[in-house]
Chain A
Amino acid sequence: NAGVMQNPRHLVRRRGQEARLRCSPMKGHSHVYWYRQLPEEGLKFMVYLQKENIIDESGMPKERFSAEFPKEGPSILRIQQVVRGDSAAYFCASSPPGQRENIQYFGAGTRLSVL
């Protein structure tokens, strides 16, 4: 059973470009979470999705950021018109439905660098 897959591992964008980060959850997992880790900081929650639904987006900036988890395919975190402050590591995690303990399994992250 493959783990959570994120791609790309590294992404370089110039200011004003768009960044698209992909996350394929573990097999059988229908819950996906995105977290952001700024340099020298802990992970901060951004958004929680289930298939085709956003459950909690309280940690996601209102402007320029969006996330989706379609019925088919990976979850996508999209950042429009990137700025230098968006440079960070973005982690995706997944968990199976109906799990009381809420153990989240993390991918290796995507490191976004904005020039």
Chain B
Amino acid sequence: AQTVTQSQPEMSVQEAETVTLSCTYDTSENNYYLFWYKQPPSRQMILVIRQEAYKQQNATENRFSVNFQKAAKSFSLKISDSQLGDTAMYFCAFTLYGGATNKLIFGTGTLLAVQP
């Protein structure tokens, strides 16, 4: 069975600084996808960034980038130039590629507070 672990329940960062959120996962499969979702106070789930396991290059989306270490089963999210609007709960998620089910497996989340 696959599991996703986020070991930082809460984090805080000053506006304009950089913060890294950690995520580790466990799977015996080789082909999968990893995601970071953001859940602001509105509770809407918003996709931040995704990574295919077969790609060695780390994904980037504007101020958001990941450090994907497949051997270590680690998938951290780096937010550069933090903005007040980045304040949210961040969830790491995993899904198998080509499996019978497409379900997402989520971690327990990291609550990020961006301080002015």
- Measured as residues with beta carbon below 8 angstroms from the partner, the interface class of chain B is 20 to 34
In contact, B33 and A101 (Cβ under 8 angstroms): yes
In contact, A48 and B45 (Cβ under 8 angstroms): no
The verdict on B13 contacting chain A, using a C-beta distance below 8 Å, is: no
A103 CA / B52 CA spacing, docked (Å): 11
B 47-58 binary contact with A (CB < 8 Å = 1; else 0): 100101000000
Please pick, from B45, B100, B107, the residue contacting A56 in the complex, using a CB distance under 8 A: B100
With known contacts A42-B91, A56-B101, A108–B43 Cβ distance under 8 A: yes
A 28-41 binary contact with B (CB < 8 Å = 1; else 0): 00010101000001
Query: Closest Cβ of chain A: how far from B87's Cβ, in Å?
Result: 17
In contact, A45 and B33 (Cβ under 8 angstroms): no
A 87-113 binary contact with B (CB < 8 Å = 1; else 0): 001010101000011111110110100
Count contacts on A: residues with CB < 8 A to the other chain.
27
With known contacts A42-B106, A45-B105, A102–B91 Cβ distance under 8 A: no
Binding site for A on B (CB under 8 A): 33, 35, 37, 42-47, 50, 52, 91, 95, 97, 100-109
In contact, B44 and A33 (Cβ under 8 angstroms): no
In contact, A102 and B43 (Cβ under 8 angstroms): no
Contacts of B42 in A (CB 8 A): 108
Query: Closest Cβ of chain A: how far from B13's Cβ, in Å?
Result: 21
In contact, A106 and B106 (Cβ under 8 angstroms): no
